[in-house]
Structure 1
């Protein structure tokens, strides 16, 4: 059977993949030795789509692990076995440090506000001094355990799905999903007009890329999470480079060798080889456990298309975590796989606690659907509804003779307001089953509101208030503490 190639980078990709795979195998053996005989460590990845709350999650998690009075659901803390926690220099000297202190100041200062969102990859090391359980504790005494937290945009994770797709396949899938979206019409018209262009023109390519990037931004504002390639909205120092100057085009049976379609294909393959693959080999392949933050409430508010897109996004994420599915992926991992994945529905404080089981049920239904479609196996997965920073308090109000379970929080203008968002359905399939034209979405009685962080008065030993952050930590770290 002829070897599979990847455009003009095919041979180079295959050779370097094998070399990188061997390097990863040696590194994995070294990590195993260190974990067994020296100070063990765990690499925890945190990701999610835009506005899912990655920065707030990491900041509150670290603050609550440093000051653990609110972490009673973490067994090692409840049993009194965590003797100390402290920040240390991170092991990766080439990665930016997660700006924990600045983000904490934004959330807990005299004028609290939401910190800037994740724009790139960053890391933070949190170390624990822990007393082991059982006979081991009496023999070895306290030990040190390191938690390396890696923050990266969820759009980058979805890019891993491109590695299996040719330019023609990606273009066809992307253009098919754009049909019917009014805000996509400008790009669809431009892409059709460009079909059959037999000579490449750089300004024309730049204009197509600009219109496509504008579409991706609009799609995200409409609650759509499938916005690949992910670096188009977070270009960093690649802004304006040819590797970020391409767009999907309609299929051509015999595209001209020096035409627009062929150059777009070449740049797409370069994006996979020079942007996606390095992220995988340098960062993603080293992750032991993963948190995927899901803004399910915003998707539900946006409507059935956004919910369906969220389900596809979860499917793509699960595919990325399934080693062995693709030959190129297996070459890198050599048996290493992510052990646990937590899907967390954020902003649970925007609902009364009586609604939290229904929100989790929606996430469970989306996850089950994604697992089925992704043919996923391997890692242990869990889902829960959380609020990394609780911004509301609950109260029950009477309206038109009816008792309403409300939440009260601070608005952007500083005023406080009580809010009743409506009720999520008891049957999550009403949200996840897919809707046909003419269906009524949640009877029109569900809304969300953007609350701001409230001023905090923290006692000594207390981290910021949260909902189920301790249970999330127990699932992710409990067995290692």
Structure 2
């Protein structure tokens, strides 16, 4: 039996190696493939981003900031069957139907990994274009939850280090009070009891769900929020416990340690091996406006989360990941602040400046190098129009749209972001709980009813610039 398992492992490894080599040779000499990862925490707009990107690349009238569009290099863009038969297909048609219905609505959020292949037929260019003829580039778009990406930080941490850090971070959060009171009332050296472990895991999951709703980005383990078919399994039934001494066999603490290690080995590592290791370019969608709305601590945690994301794309920091990727690095990473249409265009530069400041801060924290990174504010689907309202001698730059709750039209003034992003970053670093000189609000807008002309994609803000950064060079 042992010999059989060894043989199966060797055969599986050989198949993967052969497939990788064959795929690499095929891509290099025939039809190259560029793999674009799309991620972001829940609610950042991944599904809308992918749907709008694909629709606009097939209907390019609104993509004038892309050089390949401006120079008419793209002869056609079309969907093809995805190459990975084991991954669900991104349901582009259903999501597009939701956004373009007579009464449009936001599509369902990302719950697991999915993939879509968009292929480009490119007209020849340059001195030897007539000799080479048209060529094809495949863009494989991989959609995955950002919560899973954050789990990379767990891989080289022990259960005890993770538990101590988690308990310290959440100690002053009201949403964590129920879990903390329960965990601190338990002796971790008590004999393992499965109903008790399940109760702790359920309370901790409830806290993670509340933290996500409150704008906190430090919501790991990520699969606790999106368990899929692992719901209720022992690998998702652990929680951080306060402990000082070594764990003993048969105790609750020892079982929590074992399950934490199993989570890393059975859940986290396979995801990075099977999906993450294949990504060439990456966009990370950031709901910075939601973090600002929830206060300084949420903004501070957003910056820390961005540093964890950057660390994930720097293999040298993680020995096991370096071995897995064999020196391969993601070439370009875009941090895109979504929902720019919730602000008047006069404030877009300030939103971008905030994400750029968070990115600089994150690069310092992660000691990151090796990829080209950029920050941008976008709206993959524009749901509002702008207007200026007057009240006495004052004027206010507003946005107007259809409210998600109730469906009525409303104009909204969210408050004015500061010129200096440090005014939004400093309070969180010093433990501030609220803004001293501003009140930043958000409004939930539904998608607007659309009337699209032939060749016209979904209305957006800077989606063409985002696409140019992410893969425009490969269309040249």
SS in 1 for 2:169: helix
State the shift of 1:135 in Å: 2.1
- Structure 2 equivalent of residue 422 of structure 1: 415
User: TM (normalized to structure 1)?
Assistant: 0.94
- Structure 2 equivalent of residue 441 of structure 1: 435
State the shift of 1:268 in Å: 0.4
Which of 61, 64, 69 is the equivalent residue of 1:77? Answer: 69
Q: How does 1:15-164 map to 2 (within 5 A)?
A: 29-164=21-156
Gaps of at least 5 residues in structure 1 are 1-11
Residue deviations 1:55-107 (CA, integer Å, cap 9, x gap)? 00000000001101000011101101100011000000010000100000000
CA gap of 1:442–1:106, structure 2 versus 1, over 3 A, is: farther
Residue deviations 1:245-298 (CA, integer Å, cap 9, x gap)? 000111231322110000000000000000001101100000011000000000
**Pair 1:313 & 2:305 matched:** yes
Kept in 1: contact 2:297–2:433 (CA 8 A): no
State the shift of 1:25 in Å: 6.6
Aligned equivalents of 2:150, 2:138: Cα separation in 1: 28
CA gap of 1:275–1:136, structure 2 versus 1, over 3 A, is: farther
Task: Report the more deviating stretch, 409-418 or 65-74.
Answer: 409-418
- Structure 2 equivalent of residue 396 of structure 1: 388
CA RMSD of aligned residues (A): 1.8
- Structure 1 equivalent of residue 183 of structure 2: 191
Aligned equivalents of 2:121, 2:27: Cα separation in 1: 15
SS in 2 for 1:126: strand
- Structure 1 equivalent of residue 424 of structure 2: 431
Kept in 2: contact 1:41–1:146 (CA 8 A): yes
SS in 2 for 1:319: helix
Residue deviations 1:311-355 (CA, integer Å, cap 9, x gap)? 111011001000122221111111211000000000000001110
CA gap of 1:60–1:439, structure 2 versus 1, over 3 A, is: closer
- Structure 2 equivalent of residue 458 of structure 1: 452
State the shift of 1:132 in Å: 3.2
Aligned equivalents of 2:318, 2:14: Cα separation in 1: 17
State the shift of 1:23 in Å: 7.7
Residue deviations 1:210-262 (CA, integer Å, cap 9, x gap)? 10000101111110111111010111100110000000111231322110000
Which of 381, 385, 404 is the equivalent residue of 2:373? Answer: 381
State the shift of 1:414 in Å: 2.0
Aligned equivalents of 1:227, 1:438: Cα separation in 2: 20
User: TM (normalized to structure 2)?
Assistant: 0.95
Q: How does 1:247-258 map to 2 (within 5 A)?
A: 247-258=239-250
Kept in 2: contact 1:196–1:252 (CA 8 A): no
Aligned equivalents of 1:426, 1:439: Cα separation in 2: 21
Aligned equivalents of 1:139, 1:283: Cα separation in 2: 37
**Pair 1:475 & 2:461 matched:** no
State the shift of 1:26 in Å: 5.9
Kept in 2: contact 1:198–1:256 (CA 8 A): no
Which of 272, 287, 297 is the equivalent residue of 2:289? Answer: 297
State the shift of 1:27 in Å: 5.4
**Pair 1:227 & 2:219 matched:** yes
- Structure 1 equivalent of residue 351 of structure 2: 359
